[in-house]
Every structure is written in structure tokens, then in C-alpha cells.
A and B are shown apart, each in its own frame.
Chain A
Amino acid sequence: MNRWLPFEWIAAVRFLREGRLQTIFIIGGISIGVGVIVFMSAMLAGMEANFIRRVLTSQPQIQLLTPDQVARPLRNAAGEIEDAVVQRPSQRVISIDQWPKIRTQMLAMPEVTAVSPTITGSALAIRGDASRAVTLTGIEPDTYFNIVKVPDYIVAGSARLTSEDVIIGTELAKNLGATVGDKLNLQAASSANRVLTISGLVDFGNKGANQRVAFIALRTGQSLLGMIGGVTTIDMTIKDIYAAETIARQIQAATAVEADSWIATNAQFFTAVQAQIYTNTLIRLFVGLSVAFGIAAVLIVSVIQRSKEIGILRAMGTSRGQILRVFLLQGGLLGFIGSLVGAAMGALALIYWHAVARQADGTEFFPLILERSLFIYTAILATVTGLLAATAPAVRAAKLDPVVAIRG
């Protein structure tokens, strides 16, 4: 008998050990439940991280744009509106008013992690007889690469971007018959043109994007698009990606720009991610409930089986509180041991599934993310579930009338 263990622990452990088969079965049940939770949580977290990485590393989380240009109806002297229908004006590409000030403001926000001004516009990429319409994006590489991880998508050449360089999509390169080191003539709508050297090819995993994308230095973009010193968008990343919409609304209310979050611009994708999170939570909840009911059922049976022994313990001077703790501890111990075995089972199943499940192109279906916190939270959750599940049986045991219990 371990002299460091209090009476309640000794009794709880002995009772569990004596009802061996019952204990093994319920630990098996808890382990399977915990295993399912660990497996699903880790796999879904991996898949979610994968989706989010793919979406959010190829686009800014919040984008500040010039507000829509509106036509104001004429008013006469009496203040009456003269025109009932006002036609929406065509939207000219114009610079964000006082963008350096807005950038400073954004950088001062604690939620914001990176800010980068960009200029975007349409141009024609011409090489020999071939020409293609492209979306020019003039960027400051140092800051922009913190938002859109262009270097991660480079498949040929490098992410170098001096005023003489251009990085284009792989499909565009294919269509133009160009590769790294070749010259490319970029011609803007205003007929201004520049000949730049292709320094790298990017593959965003999206054919449409790969056909149109062309990154150039910010100053080159400004001169080509005829907007010296101007920018059309300010791209940003933030700490909590799920707060993007709220922060965007705050920015829009505080400044004279329009703010679009990735949540608004990728509404369908975001809904899919949310649905996945809800489903995962629901599954965890129901698995947790079934585990709790299993523990409670086993302990209720144990209380009935042991009612005579409980009566004896009470007759020997054991208090109601001690009896209560003996059964609470059994619930907690079942939950804790079950969570350890279950976490190991879940992790092994995940490692196996990660090795087996592959996408069509042979790449991994989901990244293997086994965070220590998942195991710690699961162990705490299972132990607390065990304790809660044991409450009803423990109260019942503590309330047993020793006379009735001993008489059986």
C-alpha cells in the first residue's frame, strides 16, 4: 500500500482493479471515443490548415481599395433632386488618397501583422507574335512577400524583383513561349510600354491565375500604369484570420477607403471551412456524451455491486465525503487512462492514414499536425468528463443508508 496515496485513491484504484473486466471494457470504450476525437481533430485541423494555407498565402487577408466613384444628382436651389435615375459612372483606376498615411495607420493597429501597397492594372504581354492580356501587380517585394508568399510558389528562376524584372505565371510563360531570362514587352492601355526580364515563374495551382499573373516592382508598375507615386490597393495580413471581416469593417468605418476581407471575397470557401468546424465540434460533442454515459453506467453498476462494501466502509467510520471522492476518483481515473490510450490510438491511426491517403497527384492528402496541446486538452477533457459522469453514481454511493446497504 503506497503510503503517499490517500485513502480515497487507494480504495478507488483497488475497486477499479478488482472489477478488471468491467474496467478494461469501459477504458476500451473511452479510448475508442478519445481516439476518434484525436484522429478527427488532428486530421481536420491538418486539412483546414492546408486549405487556409493555400488560400491565404496566395491572397491578402484584407485589401484596401479606393471607394466606388459615384455620380451625385444635381439639386436645384430649393433642394429638390432633379434627376430620378442616376447612371453609375465608369470606374477609373485611381490612386488611394493619401495612401502613405493610411499605411502608417494600419501598421499602428495591433491586430495587423503586415501591410504592403500595390498597384494593379491591365496590360498586354507581348513576345514576338504572341500577346496575352495580363493583370499587372506592382509590388514592394520586401513587404508583399510577407502577405502573398510568392517565393513559395516559384517553380523556375527566383523571386528577384528589381525595376527591370517581371515574375509571370507558368501558363502565361507557356502561352508566350517564354522562360526565365527571356525579355517580355509589357504594354499598358495608355500605350506606355516597358521591356522587362522574366526572373521567375510562379504556379499558384490555379490555371486562370497562372495565365494572367505578372508581378513587377511597384515603381515600374506606377510608371507603366501612368500613376506616379500612386497605389490602387493596400494589402494586409492580420493575426486572427477569422477576425478579418470585423477588422475590415472597422477600417472602412475609420478611413475613407473600402476594405474587403478574405472572408467576404471567398464566401463559399469560408462557409465550407465553418461547416467543417461545426461538424467536427458536433461529432466531438456526441462522442464525448457517449463516453460520459458509458462511464456513468459502469459506475452506477459498480455502486450497486458494492453497496454492501460501501455500507461496511460507512460503518467503519468512513464519511459520506470520502465515499463520494472514491467514486469521483474512479470516474476521473477512467477518463484519464482512457484518454492516454485513446490519444495513442488516435495518433497511430492518423499516422497510418496520413501514409496511406494520397491525392491524385501523389501529394499528401493533409499535413500531419500532431500538436501537444491537442493531447493535453483531450486528456483534461476526458478526465473532467469522467469526473462529471461519476457525479451521479458518487452522490448515490455517498447517500446510501449503511443499514440498508449492509442488509443488501
Chain B
Amino acid sequence: MADEILKLERVCKSYNVGLPTETEVLHDIDLELDHGEFLALMGPSGSGKSTLLNIVGLLDRPTSGRLLIKGRDTGLLGDNEITHLRGHTIGFVFQYHLLISAFTARENIMMPMLADRGFPSAEIAARADHLLAEVGLERFGNNLANNMSGGQQQRVAVARALAMNPDLVLADEPTGNLDTKSADAVFELMRRVNRQSGTSFLLVTHNLDLARRCDRIIEVVDGRIAQH
């Protein structure tokens, strides 16, 4: 079996297909990400980074080309299979934390497991507590998301991304809105998880200092991979 968790083969993405306003934002992207690799994805705004991340995260589909996750061609999967694969294989960390405000920090972490299993259980709660401890927020488990600082919310978001023990975490500028100290703490947290559990990370960032601390940097310019 291939060692890569993720493989993109000549992936293209166009919007408004068939219309006069058709725009191709990704051109023939070839990319591989190995198990346990921590990859930084850089590029100017509008270069197609987020589109690429959405395609890799199975939130969007490529117009052409193949996307393989753990060797499975995702183009052959239906909507429910995609949802299942996404839930079990991929974790997300977004720039604006995007925790669900109606829930506490612990419940936010429980959410992916709850959506998967259907009912809460002691096992799910224990896993959430374990992850809260991992991100150093064991005392904040009962805090509603809105009652936490940006850095704390982002750490909860990292814990939530890890809830299903995913093979790959996609982080879209997770430190973009944080001060240097918090940004560093969140990055270090992800790096530690990567080293300890072998979870692969694909980190979109504008911060060159952080990118340099990753295993590999790739740059997207005008919808193409500019350098490896």
C-alpha cells in the first residue's frame, strides 16, 4: 500500500463551468503528503490555497484530476461515503476558530464523535477530557466557546480536529488571528501531536517563521504549485 495519506493527480478546479465567466483557479496540481508529514502551504491571497484545502478536505470536488486519500479514489465515492471518509480521516482547524457557540468546550470536542456514533457515552466524554488535557485546557471544559480567549478557542478547535483520531489535519491559517505567543503555542501543540501520534498536517499559513518549522513547504501561485 502507498505510504502517502494524500495524493493529488493533475487536479484542476474551475468555477462557473460552461458559463462565459468560467474561471480555472487550480491548474494541474500534483501533490503527495506522506503519513506523519507536516507540510506548510504558502502563497499570496487568491492564489487558490483555500480552494485546494477544501478539495483535500472533501468539502469540494475537483473539476478534473484524481484525489486519493489513503489510496482510495474519492471521485468514485457518493455523498454519504464522502461524509463518512471526511469524518473518520480528516480533522479541520479554521482561521476563525468556528466553535459552535451553543456548546461548551468539552461538548465542541465531543461533537464529531457524537455525530458519528449518534448518542453521547462515557467513552466519548473521557476522550474529550483527554484531549482537553492534551491542549492544556482541562479547567475550561465547561466554558461556553464564546467565554474563551482566541488562543484558547483555537486550542479547543485543534482538540476537536483530533477527536476522531484522524490521519490528516487540515489547518487553514489557524494562527492568523492570534498574537505571537498564542500562535506559537497553537503551532507547537499541533507539532507535538504530529510527532507523538504521527498525524499528518497540512498547514496553510502566511507566517514564514512557522512554515520554516514544518517538514516541507510548498507554495501555490496563481493556482499552480510553484515550488516543492
Contacts and interface: CB of A to CB of B under 8 A. Distances in A.
Given A316-B112, A322-B115, A406 B98 contact: yes
B119 A312 contact: no
Given A313-B111, A317-B112, A5 B101 contact: no
Nearest to B172: A406
Contacts of B80: 319
Given A315-B59, A316-B92, A402-B59, A18 B79 contact: no
A317 B98 contact: no
B119 A317 contact: no
A317 B86 contact: yes
A1 B107 contact: yes
A333 to B, nearest CB: 14
A6 interface: yes
Nearest to B91: A316
A315 B121 CA distance: 22
A344 to B, nearest CB: 28
Nearest to A323: B115
Contacts of B86: 315, 317
Given A14-B102, A312-B98, A312-B100, A317 B121 contact: no
B120 A317 contact: no
Contacts of B182: none
Contacts of B120: 1-3, 5, 10
A59 B79 CA distance: 69
Mostly, the B contact residues are helix
B102 A18 contact: yes
Given A7-B114, A317-B88, A317-B112, A309 B119 contact: no
Nearest to B60: A403
A288 to B, nearest CB: 29
Contact of B160 (A14, A17, A316, A403): A316
Interface string B75-89: 000011001101110
A14 B103 contact: yes
A269 interface: no
A315 B92 contact: yes
Interface string A304-323: 00001101111111111010
B98 A17 contact: no
A317 B116 contact: yes
Nearest to B83: A319
Contacts of B6: none
Given A5-B120, A403-B54, A313 B84 contact: no
Given A1-B120, A309-B101, A317 B107 contact: no
Contacts of A319: 80, 83, 115
B94 interface: yes
A365 interface: no
B107 to A, nearest CB: 6
B119 A5 contact: yes
Given A316-B111, A317-B86, A403-B59, A3 B119 contact: yes
Q: Which bracket fits the contact residues of A?
A: 20 to 34
A352 interface: no
Which residue, of B86, B99, B102, B111, has the highest number of chain A Cβ atoms within 10 A? B102
B107 A316 contact: no
Contacts of B94: 312, 406
B110 A1 contact: yes
A309 B110 CA distance: 15
B98 A316 contact: no
B131 interface: no
B84 A315 contact: no
B130 to A, nearest CB: 16
A316 B87 contact: yes
Contacts of B92: 312, 315-316
Nearest to A15: B102
B53 to A, nearest CB: 10
Contacts of B125: 1
Interface in A1-29: 1-7, 10-11, 14-15, 17-18
A5 B110 CA distance: 14
B8 interface: no
Contacts of A10: 114, 120
A305 to B, nearest CB: 10
B98 A18 contact: no
A317 B114 contact: no
A311 B100 CA distance: 10
Given A14-B103, A17-B102, A406-B98, A317 B87 contact: yes
A47 to B, nearest CB: 47
A191 to B, nearest CB: 92
B211 interface: no
A11 B108 CA distance: 11
A1 B117 CA distance: 14
Contact of B79 (A3, A5, A320): A320
26 contacts: A2-B120, A3-B120, A3-B121, A3-B122, A7-B115, A7-B119, A10-B120, A14-B102, A18-B101, A18-B102, A309-B100, A312-B100, A313-B100, A314-B59, A314-B83, A315-B57, A315-B59, A316-B87, A316-B115, A316-B160, A317-B84, A317-B87, A317-B112, A317-B115, A322-B115, A403-B59
Closest A-B pairs by Cβ, 4 of them: A317-B87, A18-B102, A14-B102, A318-B115
Given A312-B100, A316-B111, 7 more contacts: A1-B110, A1-B125, A315-B92, A317-B86, A319-B115, A320-B79, A406-B94
